Amino acid sequence: MHISHTHQASRLQLNAQGHLRHFLTTEGLSRELLTEILDRAESFLIRDGRVRHEPVLAGCTVMNLFFEASTRTRTTFEVAAKRLSADVLNIDISTSSTSKGETLRDMLWNLQAMTADIFVVRHNRSGAAHFIAEQVTPGVAVINAGDGQHAHPTQAMLDMLTMRRHAGSIHNLKVAIVGDIKHSRVARAEIHALQTLGARAIHLIAPRTLMPVGLDQMGVQIFDRMEDGLRDVDVIVCLRIQNERMESALLPSAEEFFSLYGLTPERLRLARPGALVMHPGPINRGVEIASSVADGSQSVILQQVNYGIAVRMAVLSMAIQGQREQKQ
């Protein structure tokens, strides 16, 4: 029997009862499960951008394994875990024993013997979180905080929560994703989540050098001009342009990118009135987005950051419960 990669991932992510036990990718997860994540996240939100403090992870040890530096993402996971009353340890990989010749597998086994309950993993290689989830013993949960160009599932889910809270429902939304689709783990995770949650249309807008091949088979529509792709959309997600792309000549210059793909007030008017403006951050003002749009009334960029705490709390608490359920 042939088991597709998607089925393998789902099997690894879910316990025997079909509940989340790792969170590696949005791919292959059911609409019910994604909705459960959003509902759980919403239960942690209180007014004024505050989040509840809950003892769900009291007595648990969360280890942040960041093989790739990311203060922003690490901080959101650290805040989320502490809000759930966990003990949080940031393991600095560059100074750890891997520099003494220890293999990744040995390092993991050792950290897990130090009574880790959850590993939050960021790695520059696609599939790293997957590999780690296959190595850990039952009872230990793995959360993917971004692996190479593969997936960044908590970012995708915080975007879904933002759309649901500000547009009412994801069902029937028309969403444009603009920018470096090719190198974006955010875009990939987002497309899966949007399709599962019933978005009506997904427009991908990018210069040809930044658009991967084969995406039209995923049921998305591809555009290379903003003027075509933005028409009547309900949500615009701008992706971050990495400076490396300019240096590697995949992109001419920041100025030229902005002139062709920057989200300006004029272009924003092509979208549905009141369309949401989103960005995973950190934003490059005047490159992907005009300052007036980033700070304007349609921007929900800072809400995304805020909901990111609640989504990470949801995923951490669901995974630990999925692990406990399986152990019984």
Q: Is 184 in the site for its own copies (CB under 8 A)?
A: no
Can you tell me the distance from the alpha carbon of 25 to that of 150, in angstroms, rounded to the nearest whole number? 9
Can you tell me the distance from the alpha carbon of 321 to that of 83, in angstroms, rounded to the nearest whole number? 16
CB 61 within 8 A of CB 89: yes
Q: How many whole angstroms from its chain centre is CA 128? A: 15
CB 230 within 8 A of CB 265: no
Q: Is 305 in the site for its own copies (CB under 8 A)?
A: yes
Each residue 1-40 as x (binds its own copies by CB under 8 A) or -, in order, gives: ----------------------------------------
Q: Pick one of 6, 30, 103, 172: the residue that binds its own copies (CB under 8 A).
A: 103
Q: Is 244 in the site for its own copies (CB under 8 A)?
A: no
Q: Is 75 in the site for its own copies (CB under 8 A)?
A: yes
104 or 211: CB nearest its own copies: 104
Q: Pick one of 31, 36, 67, 79: the residue that binds its own copies (CB under 8 A).
A: 79
Q: How far is the CB of 114 from its own copies (least distance, A)?
A: 5
Q: What is the DSSP string of 17-38?
A: TS-BS-B--STT--HHHHHHHH
Q: How far is the CB of 287 from its own copies (least distance, A)?
A: 9
25 or 323: CB nearest its own copies: 323
Q: How far is the CB of 50 from its own copies (least distance, A)?
A: 6
CA proximity to 189, closest of 33, 327, 23: 23
Q: b/e per residue, 1-21, with b = 16+ CB within 10 A?
A: eeeeeeeebbebbbbeeebbb
Q: How far is the CB of 51 from its own copies (least distance, A)?
A: 6
CA proximity to 5, closest of 28, 32, 39: 28
Q: What is the DSSP string of 56-67?
A: TTTT-EEEEEES
Residue with tokens 């929560």: 161
Q: Pick one of 31, 102, 149, 324: the residue that binds its own copies (CB under 8 A).
A: 102
Q: Is 134 in the site for its own copies (CB under 8 A)?
A: no
Q: Which residues bind its own copies (CB under 8 A)?
A: 48-51, 53, 58-59, 61, 69, 71-72, 75-76, 78-79, 82-83, 87, 89, 91-92, 95-97, 100-103, 106-107, 109-111, 113-115, 139, 243, 281-285, 302-303, 305-306, 308-309, 327
